[in-house]
Amino acid sequence: QSVLTQPPSVSAAPGQKVTISCSGSTSNIGKNYVSWYQLLPGTAPKLLISDNDKRPSGIPDRFSASKSGTSAALGITGLQTGDEADYYCGTWDTSLNGFVFGPGTTVTVL
Amino acid sequence: EVQLLESGGALVQPGGSLRLSCTASGFTFNIYAMAWVRQAPGKGLEWVSSISGGGFNTFYADSLKGRFTISRDDSQSTLYLQMRSLGVEDTALYYCAKATAYYYDNSWAWNFDLWGRGTLVTVSS
């Protein structure tokens, strides 16, 4: 059972937008930076967003993220079939003194 | 080429031990924190352990109950995970990850910006 909460799945048609929420508490999201990861089937995880809202080199600007209080969100615009994957938020938890991942959200392109 | 290559995964009986390795190349290994993350079959990502650059600080998931030990050999650009008293719940694909970690303005940032392809650990009798 993760200390972070994400919806199990979200879906939308090609070209549309999806938003994935990540909810936590004052000891994790409320205090520390959030990162987001994409896990495509059969591949290694990829860092999509670092430090709450920064895109690493090579990540398209269709991916964006934000953080407010104890919640964070990842947005994907111009949805493509290649975006079908599992997405995880993660952050340091000061009370646990360790890193925590959310349970993951499966994105489906209809 | 910048990459991480895990090895050491195997089929092991419950109660057994195993040591995983992760060899890094293409970046200055000793200055970066490193981590192990696992994914059990049909489950999500689970952080296992992290070690600071230079190995001065180590961190572990509470669920491991002291059974795992992370270490690094900077002269060999290699990360290790020693696992003991393995149970079926430890069956997973184990990933090695490079971390850009820093503490700023009373907040921690941990970004796992390079991952290996994983090594499979199966605990079964």
Residue B54, pLDDT above cutoff 90: no
User: Across the 110 residues of chain A, what is the mean pLDDT of every consecutive 10-residue run?
Assistant: 95 98 98 97 94 97 98 98 97 97 98
- Locus of tokens 């947005």: A75
Chain A residues touching residue B106 (CB < 8 angstroms): 31
Mean predicted confidence (pLDDT) in B37-60: 96
Q: Which tens digit of pLDDT belongs to each residue from B62-80? A: 999 899 999 999 999 999 9
Identify the closest residue of chain B to A86 by CA–CA distance: B44
| Whole-number pLDDT of residue A1 | 81
Rounded to a whole number, what is the distance in Å from the CA of A93 to chain B's nearest CA?
9
- Cβ <8 Å between A98 and B115: no
pLDDT score, position B65 = 80
The answer to whether residue B55 scores a pLDDT higher than 90 is: no
Confidence at B8, pLDDT banded by 50, 70, 90: very high
Q: Say if residue B20's pLDDT is above 90.
A: yes
Q: What are phi and psi of B124, to 5 degrees?
A: -160, 150
User: β-pairing, A34-39 with B119-123?
Assistant: unpaired
Write phi, then psi, for A82 (nearest 5 degrees): -70, -5
Nearest-Cα distance to chain B for A15, in Å, is 27
Given a contact cutoff of 8 angstroms between Cβ atoms, the answer to whether B10 and B18 are in contact is: yes
